[in-house]
Chain A
Amino acid sequence: MRLSPRNVRSRLTLWYVGVLAALLIAYGAGSLFYLFLSMREQVDHNLREDVETVAGEIASQPDGSLTLRLHHGEEGDPGFHRFVEIWSPEGSLLYRTPQLQGLALGVPPVPGKITEGRGPFSERLPNGLRVRVASSLHHLEGRTVILRLAHNERAMWRELGEFATVLIIGLPLGVLLAGFGGYALARKALAPIDAMAMQTKRISAERLSDRLSIENREDELGKLGTVFNDMLARLQAAFDQLRRFTADASHELRTPLTAIRSVGEVALQDQKSPGEYRDVIGSMLEEVDRLTKLVESLLVLSRADAGNVQLQRAEISLLAVAQDASSLVEVLAEEKRQKIDIVGDANLIVSADRLILRQAIVNLLDNAIKYSPPGSPIFVRVWPAAGNRATLEIIDVGLGISLEHQPSVFDRFYRVDKARTREWGGVGLGLSITRWAVEVHGGDITLESKEGHGSVFRASLPLSSNSASSPTERGSQ
């Protein structure tokens, strides 16, 4: 037999049975002992009373010998055996009940070491009879005698034996029944787990839409199942996202590849001047450049997904980072006669990787410049916010983003206007990278936009603990 059974069901049952058996054995032994004590007390009580009775029945014969006037009625009672011995203090036997057939109730009294009068003691006679013996000193017609009275304990032991038998037979039977019951119960209780295991086995990456069936949401197993289902839902979402991402990525890779291929194939079909070939190769290289940028963006995101981007954190002013980002791209705004207007609190310090954070802001500014008309302003605002945070807003008065597109703008490869973005050379990953860059610093980013009126990208970042938050000291550029 295995010492540690494999399934929980058997283990539960074994424990249950073991504990129950131990309890029953302890209880049985206790009862038996208590019964024994109380029965012995009864015997001793009877014995002590009987000693007085018997003492009164002793008669001295003229020849000096002693006799006992016995109650004959009790003599024939098979359940009541009374044995009497009378000794002289010197140790000579004066009387012995015939029923004893010459057997002694204990050792003869030793002169000078009279121990009589002490409490009853148990004795086993040589013929196997268990008796309870009481002895006492008596004065009879001027002489002292030792009276020893014994009662047969057979009835008591028989009764105890019967009780023990009942226990010994009943206990294993009870434990066995309880074991079966416990096993059945455990089986019933654990059956839903088996069912869940079977269902879970059938769920694979291809069938992530399956869910465990839950009978009762409130009980422990129902909660387990719910937790499981929630996890499956998250897994499914992650898988779907990954699948969509892979499909989108291969699509995005395919587009420049197609261009390279067709441009090359067409160019080879007829003779061209070196200048024309140069142009063809240049055009192919442009696509290669696009591919390279796409792969680099994908690398950034994949490293972000794997969580192994090591941030070079420093205590920096959010406003300073915004100004830095703005100075990088402000020529693009100038080309469109747009003005980037930065206002904010220079004392809002965040603990951040300057390059990554700046990249996020550059992406947002780049979008704002692209999607707002020439001559329009772009606002950058850096304010303190509740909960020890800083808010960064990039506001444009451009095209805006319609409601249907708003939830998806941060998704990878999502483009509000596919044709136009391509023309501008974007790959649809800028805002994904921006969101990652904000979130990796413990922040979050939201979009508020009205089609035709412009957009507000609002990033909220936790302030560094060292941030000297002087409330409204606002510098502007």
Chain B
Amino acid sequence: MHEGMPDLRVLVVEDEAKVARALREGLQREQYQVVVAPTGEEGFFLVSAEKFDLVILDLMLPGRDGLQILSALRKRGLQTPVLILTARDAIEDRVEGLDKGADDYLVKPFAFPELLARMRALVRRGRQERAARLSIDDVEMDLVAHKVRRHGIEIELTAREFDLLEYLLRHKEEVVSREMVTLEVWKERARAVPIDNVIDVHIARLRRKLDEPFERKLIHTVRGVGFVLREES
């Protein structure tokens, strides 16, 4: 269905059964091999007994605190990337988590597409190629010349629209949430900044320039989730 990375093993340490199930299903759909540990103890055991490519770690766990697992893991010299999930939306916690060797964090409730994006970033970290050209269908983006063409016709975009389209192109076929766009395109760290409607306006403008004059629509809204750039099937 999309590039994916087959046979990547992911350990999900999460005690909330519903969340764990949703994560398992969602990640399996993305070609990950998923192992779920419902307690801190079990997660701790698994992570020291088996090999994983990525660990998704809930911070609030019965038995053993997520941060304890994390520091024990790092003390054993295991460099498995760790993505922390936390309901504690406090900066100190984040800093503590990152100090103890987490590679990234997400605050609950998180958007699933955002989790996928963060996971992809973690597992392909270090071998990310910077393409000079991005394309979908008959759209071509030249990152060096900073030009966008569709069907050979140059499309004038503002800087922000260009960044937004570039982000969508890099994540083509993936749903991107407004949170992801806020963070990655607008570079706003504070989640409380309400720029969802600002993003919507930019998407609408982009659509006007990129899609409206052409027959095939590429920018799609996924209601309640976000946007996706994809060739219509």
Contacts and interface: CB of A to CB of B under 8 A. Distances in A.
B198 interface: yes
B113 to A, nearest CB: 11
Contact of B223 (A282, A334, A425, A430): A282
A283 B194 CA distance: 20
B225 A331 contact: no
A191 to B, nearest CB: 51
Nearest to A279: B223
Nearest to B90: A303
A331 B222 contact: no
A425 B197 contact: yes
A289 B192 contact: no
B27 to A, nearest CB: 19
A299 B107 CA distance: 13
Nearest to B186: A328
Given A297-B192, A366-B194, A331 B201 contact: yes
B89 A299 contact: yes
Contacts of B223: 278-279, 282-283, 285-286
Contacts of B90: 303
A465 to B, nearest CB: 27
B213 interface: no
Contacts of A334: 201
Interface residues of B, number: 22
B190 A282 contact: no
A288 interface: yes
A285 B175 CA distance: 14
Contacts, number: 57
Contacts of B202: 331
Contact of B198 (A297, A332, A363): A332
A281 B222 CA distance: 10
B224 A285 contact: yes
Given A279-B223, A281-B224, A288-B224, A296 B192 contact: yes
Interface in A277-323: 278-279, 281-286, 288-289, 292-293, 296-297, 299-300, 303, 310
Contacts of A310: 91
Contact of A285 (B89, B195, B205, B225): B225
Interface residues of A, number: 32
Interface in A91-143: none
Contacts of B194: 293, 362-363, 366, 430
Contacts of A355: 189-190, 193
Contacts of A284: 224
A359 B224 contact: no
Nearest to A297: B192
Contacts of A433: 192
Given A282-B222, A332-B198, A292 B109 contact: yes
A284 B224 CA distance: 7
A335 interface: yes
A331 B158 CA distance: 12
A35 interface: no
A329 interface: yes
A460 to B, nearest CB: 23
Closest 6 CB pairs of A and B: A285-B224, A282-B223, A282-B224, A331-B201, A286-B224, A300-B192
Interface of B: 89-91, 109, 186, 189-198, 201-202, 205, 222-225
